[in-house]
Structure 1
Amino acid sequence: MGRLRPALSGASVAFVSTNPDHEADVQDGRFYAVRDASLSSKLGLVAMTLQLFRIVLKERPQYVISTGAAPGYIAIRLARLLFKARTIWVDSIANVDQLSTSGQKIGKHADLWLTQWPHLANDNGPNYVGAVV
């Protein structure tokens, strides 16, 4: 997400991460840390969803951009449901061989669904329009 920050210059931005240490990287926006969870931890997903619900209610986003994983998937779903936010999913640059699990599920819920690897793009999404690597 750090590589996309120049495109957000001048906007009121809130960042959410599962790593609280990333707060030091955020000088130009608000920062929230949430629990990391995946499908293997149902209780963890519930806790993380509640954290994201509170953040989305507080921030009332017009747009949500995620670079992947369960927190981004849930934030996109919540922001669209609660505030009809416009959403962008950029599947992680780490997923070179296949889309992430969340990336495979997000397509019909994101306004713009992107991959940074041309061989993972297809007519039904995700789309490839370039890379930030």
Structure 2
Amino acid sequence: MTPRRRRAVAVAAVVALLALAVALVLGALRQNLNFFLGPGELLQQRPDPQQRLRLGGVVEAGSIRRDPGSLTVHFVVADGASRVPVRYSGLLPDLFGEGQGVVAGGRLGRDGVFDAHEVLAKHDENYRPPTGESRPAWVKP
């Protein structure tokens, strides 16, 4: 085998190994991806019940219902036109409430209820101290 041919075979082997490594990494990442969808997109796409994703929207007013004697909470996430019922069992963040933004991670069940394994409360970037609270001494008016 000539040196030129040996070099071509080595380059081809390196390219093949890199392609295999990229394929393995992408395959592993694909299993761990969480797609972020709004209620309208979720109802349109109807993903596979085994697919993990994140549902984002606003907690609909009057929709929070707690099961007595358990940590299970039922609520509805809406984006204006579309609504998705959510079931979550666990402790909720302090900022969770009606009319607040929320991101729930989980799976859409065959019954159309989103089974969340994680709930994150969203808030806006504007800080407003609670009313009636005095300012610290180091803050000048």
Shorter-chain TM-score range: under 0.3
More helix by share: 1
Name which structure has the greater RCO, CA cutoff 8 Å, separation 6+.
Answer: 2
Structure showing greater radius of gyration is 2
Taking structure 1 as the reference length, the TM-score comes to 0.23
More strand by share: 2
